[in-house]
């Protein structure tokens, strides 16, 4: 399998929000997505970053606050569909999208991919289904970004079919074999959002990638086990679980120095591993 780390747009926010003791200056939070080219399943994505729908959906109050909180920068060439074209891929070529969670900066392009199956943990979406518009905001959820046929196209992860992971994934003990061939292993990373899922994947060069979504915003946060500013706890459904997950990520990262651990918004990590020309 070939794995490419890309991003579709970025927002800015003060560093001290992302990590305790961080500086006051604004930093870039790229909206990462990954492209997997699998010998059998073809092209697949992990998340989809921003799209112009973010701006359409946040024109009016109260959702306009979302723009103020996280000013978004997005150019034509950043759009997922345009980046796919640089790999000679059409939107309909994407067979699966593995969705870490449904925050607006992860699902912006779902509507642009007409043939994909959506793979996610059931509780990542079930609690969002019937929220009121005011509650949508609290969950960073922009309903207009969700395709109207999501139910028909969803392939929710079957929680009753978890697998025991080998020692090489420690301290992560259970996961989900998302394609049934061991190539993409999903693990739940609780705390940041309901049903958040991270993914382990191995490329042709035997490099292991661990996409950890928003379980940490910065790689440094994992390495130092240093959480975001306390105010971020207001955004998390389960701050205690968030800390536990961060601790496990630190243990994993320190004991697996060869794995490429990718937090979705860590500019340093994403710049380091992005394909040149796709920055």
Residues found near Zn ion in the complex (CB under 5 A): 103, 214
Nearest residue (CB) to Zn ion, 183 versus 221: 221
Nearest residue (CB) to Zn ion, 83 versus 264: 264
As measured in angstroms, the least distance from the Cβ of 192 to Zn ion is 6
Residue found by looking up tokens 């292991």 in the block: 208
As measured in angstroms, the least distance from the Cβ of 212 to Zn ion is 11
As measured in angstroms, the least distance from the Cβ of 232 to Zn ion is 11
Nearest residue (CB) to Zn ion, 43 versus 262: 262
CA dihedral 161, 166, 170, 175 (to 10 degrees): -10
Which residue has its beta carbon closest to Zn ion? 103
Contact between 218 and 138 under an 8 Å Cβ cutoff? The reply is no
Inter-CA distances, 230 with 20, 140, 197, Å: 8, 18, 23
The secondary structure of 60-91, three-state, reads CCCCHHHHHHCCEECCHHHCHHHHHHCCCCCH
As measured in angstroms, the least distance from the Cβ of 103 to Zn ion is 3
As measured in angstroms, the least distance from the Cβ of 183 to Zn ion is 25
Inter-CA distances, 64 with 56, 137, 141, 142, 163, Å: 10, 10, 13, 11, 42
As measured in angstroms, the least distance from the Cβ of 30 to Zn ion is 13
Nearest residue (CB) to Zn ion, 111 versus 212: 212
Nearest residue (CB) to Zn ion, 90 versus 138: 138
Nearest residue (CB) to Zn ion, 78 versus 214: 214
The per-residue DSSP string of 169-194 comes to GTT--EEEESSSSSSEEEEE--SSST
Q: Where are the beta strands (DSSP E) in 70-173?
A: 72-73, 94-98, 117-119, 163-164
Distance of alpha carbon 236 from alpha carbon 240, whole angstroms:
9
């Amino acid at each position: 399998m070939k794995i490419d780390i890309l991003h579709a747009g970025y927002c800015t926010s003060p560093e001290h929000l992302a990590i305790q003791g961080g500086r006051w200056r604004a930093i870039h939070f790229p909206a990462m997505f990954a492209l997997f080219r699998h010998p059998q399943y073809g092209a697949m994505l992990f998340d989809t970053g921003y799209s112009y729908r973010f701006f359409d959906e946040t024109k009016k109050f109260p959702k306009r606050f979302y723009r103020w909180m996280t000013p978004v920068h997005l150019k034509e060439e950043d759009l997922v569909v345009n980046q796919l074209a640089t790999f000679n891929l059409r939107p309909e070529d994407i067979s699966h999208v593995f969705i870490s969670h449904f925050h607006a900066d992860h699902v912006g392009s779902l509507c642009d991919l007409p043939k994909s199956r959506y793979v996610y943990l059931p509780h990542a979406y079930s609690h969002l289904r019937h929220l009121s518009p005011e509650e949508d905001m609290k969950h960073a959820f922009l309903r207009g970004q969700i395709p109207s046929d999501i139910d028909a196209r969803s392939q929710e992860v079957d929680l009753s079919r978890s697998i025991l992971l080998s020692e090489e994934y420690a301290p992560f003990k259970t996961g989900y074999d998302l394609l049934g061939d061991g190539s993409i292993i999903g693990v739940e990373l609780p705390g940041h959002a309901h049903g958040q899922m991270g993914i382990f994947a191995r490329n042709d060069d035997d490099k292991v990638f661990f996409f950890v979504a928003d379980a940490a915003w910065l790689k440094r946060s994992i390495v130092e086990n240093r959480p975001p500013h306390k105010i971020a706890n207001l955004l998390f459904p389960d701050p205690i679980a968030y800390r536990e997950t961060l601790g496990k990520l630190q243990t994993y990262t320190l004991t697996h120095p060869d794995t490429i651990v990718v937090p979705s918004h860590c500019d340093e990590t994403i710049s380091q591993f992005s394909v040149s020309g796709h920055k």
